[in-house]
Structure 1
Amino acid sequence: MQLTPDFDPAKAVRSLLRRSRQGALATLMAGSGDPYCSLVNVASHPDGSPILLISRLAIHTKNLLADARVSLMLDERVEGDPLEGSRIMLSGHAEEVTSDRDLVRRRYLNAHPSAEAFVDFKDFSFFRIRLTGTHLVAGFGRILDLKPAQFLTDISDAGSLLEAEQSAVEHMNTDHQEALGLYATRLLGAGAGDWRCSGLDPDGIDLQTGNMTLRLDFPERIAGPGELRKVLVRLAEQARAPVERI
């Protein structure tokens, strides 16, 4: 299907991956192989792949432990007809997180602070969906399939940034709430709110207030904390600049 010239499908997928906090998870019933769908909370790994915190007592967890193949649908959640909003159907394999659990834990809790109440329960585990592809539906003329390499964030050289991420998130939320509010209202056109930072990665910053999540892309990719500070200052200056009147 032909795409409109001003549409960037990879950017549309990345935006939904970063902004989504709930999704419909499809698994295969253990034993029968019948399809099973459930609602799950979602956060994102620094590379954009989905993170789940789920109980081993849940049917979907038992299913994916027997067969790791899963599909996850994330949608725009627009007002009015939900079919008018963008959505992505992700395919992949769910893997229990072992090697980078601390990183996954903090990113999930930044996105879902209420999960602090049960995150350490013995039956709960983090799973990361290793993506194999996605199907994007974003309106007429905007339906296509993409491979993970087209939309996931490259973090191969961003080790120092990931190490500094949590301190940067806490610093922004403690000392720069005004800047976060300006990012949301002046740069992204959102309403006023108690905006806070819930994540940082080489491509951008995630902002949340209540049940609303926004994504502000950086003007260029960054890989270290020094670059992060410079780009956040530049964005704050841009947000504070007087609006030109015509």
Structure 2
Amino acid sequence: MSDMKIPGQIPIETLSRQLLRACDQAVLSTALVDGGWPYGSLVMTACDHMAAPLLLLSDLAEHTMNLARDNRASLLLNGTVGLDNPLTGSRITVLGKVVKTDEPNLKARYVSRHPESEMFVGFKDFNLYRMTIARAHIVAGFGIIHWIGAEKLLFDTAGFEGIAAAEADIVTHMNEDHAEAVSLYATSLLGLEPGKWKMTGVDPEGCDLRDGGEVARVNFDKPAANAEDVRVALIRLVKTARASEKV
């Protein structure tokens, strides 16, 4: 089956991943241990390279105790912030099982996305979790509503492993040696206010930026297969950003 597309735009699966990667917080809904009532709580999110959500949770939190009994959950990620009419914007609800993970690269990715979490990540009662997605429901404005299975939603990283291996070096290099370019991504490409923008992550489909409490996402024109492709994509983006400043 061909990808579903928003008329004149991108495949709905791609839009869904972009939304997952762009948001840094969500409403986590779990079933209360006492009675099974739906319980919603605010959590901070990151994603792995497939776009599966990552969560850093305290053992003492109500939602973590709920997950210990039933690890089925949903995450609502909201891309409507700042719109005059939020119902015209995109939001996605992801359903799946929340499973503890000890993978060091995922923990590093989460901390890079949320620097304030570094003080908690080493505590014994804090653990990193990854959502194993079953399916997702996206509403991308009036009449654009789709259920998407995990096999369509998640990015297949087979053959793209080199980017994950090089990610930390790429991010460090961009922040230390090309800070101006990172800033241009935010200001010229995305129209955001100047600030102390930093790159926090890179994956086959784009890169993540942060300035204090504000996050941003820059998407590549096409997936990058390896670290060299990422380099080429980042150079292309900064050329586009500089050209737009001259207009």
User: TM-score, normalising length from structure 2?
Assistant: 0.91
Q: CA deviation at 1:81?
A: 4.6
Can you list the C-alpha shifts for 1:6-44, whole angstroms capped at 9, x where unaligned? 243223211211111111101112253221111111111
CA offset at residue 157 of structure 1?
Answer: 1.1
SS in 1 for 2:192: coil
- Residues 28 and 35 in structure 1, CA contact (< 8 A), matched pair in contact too: yes
Name the SS of the counterpart of 2:18 in structure 1.
helix
Alpha-carbon distance in 1 for matches of 2:215, 2:14: 16
- Equivalence for 1:157: 159
What's the RMSD between the two structures over aligned residues?
1.9
Give the match for residue 232 of structure 1. Answer: 234
Q: Is the 8 A contact 1:3 1:141 kept in 2?
A: no
What letter corresponds to residue 64 of structure 2 in structure 1? Answer: T
Q: Quick check: 2:195–2:211 contact (8 Å CA) kept in 1?
A: yes
* Aligned pairs, number: 242
Is the CA contact 2:186–2:197 (under 8 Å) kept in the aligned structure 1?
Answer: yes
Q: Deviations over 1:88-133 (max 9, x none)?
A: 11100001103xx211111111111001111111000000001111
Alpha-carbon distance in structure 2 between the residues aligned to 1:48 and 1:223: 16
Alignment deviations for residues 136-157 of structure 1 (CA, whole Å, 9 cap, x no partner): 1121121111122323222111
Instruction: Please give the residue correspondences for 1:55-66 in structure 2 after superposition, counting only pairs within 5 Å.
Output: 55-66=58-69
Contact 2:54/2:129 (<8 A) preserved: yes
Q: 2:96 aligns with which of 87, 92, 95?
A: 92
Call closer, same or farther: CA 1:241–1:41 in 2, change over 3 Å. Answer: same
Of residues 173-182 and 146-155 in structure 1, the stretch that sits farther from structure 2 once superposed is: 146-155
Question: Do the aligned partners of residues 129 and 149 (structure 1) sit closer, same or farther apart at CA in structure 2, a change above 3 Å counting?
Answer: same
Identity %, equivalent residues: 39
> 2:174 maps to what in 1?
172
**Which deviates more from structure 2 when the two are superposed, residues 207-216 or residues 12-21?**
207-216
CA distance in 1, matches of 2:67, 2:122: 21
Instruction: Select which of 109, 115, 118 maps to 1:116.
Output: 118
Deviation at residue 223 of structure 1 after TM alignment: 2.1
Quick check: 2:28–2:74 contact (8 Å CA) kept in 1? yes
Q: What is the match of residue 132 of structure 1? A: 134
The amino acid across from 1:46 in the alignment is H
1:52 alignment counterpart: 55
Structure 2 residue aligned with 1:200, among 183, 202, 210? 202
- Alpha-carbon distance in 2 for matches of 1:187, 1:107: 24
Segments of structure 1 that go 5 or more residues without pairing to the other structure are none
Q: Does the Cα contact within 8 Å between 1:17 and 1:48 map onto a contact in 2?
A: yes
1:35 to 38, 46, 56: 38
1: CA distance, partners of 2:155 / 2:5: 23
Contact residue 88 and residue 142 of structure 2 kept, 8 A: no
SS in 1 for 2:39: strand
- 214-223 or 19-28, which moves further after superposition? 214-223
SS of corresponding position for 2:171: helix
Q: Distance in 1 between matches of 2:20 and 2:123?
A: 27
Q: What is the match of residue 103 of structure 1?
A: 105
SS of the residue corresponding to residue 104 of structure 2 reads helix
Which amino acid is the alignment partner of residue 202 of structure 1? P
Contact 2:28/2:43 (<8 A) preserved: yes
Cα distance in 2 for residues equivalent to 1:228 and 1:56: 37
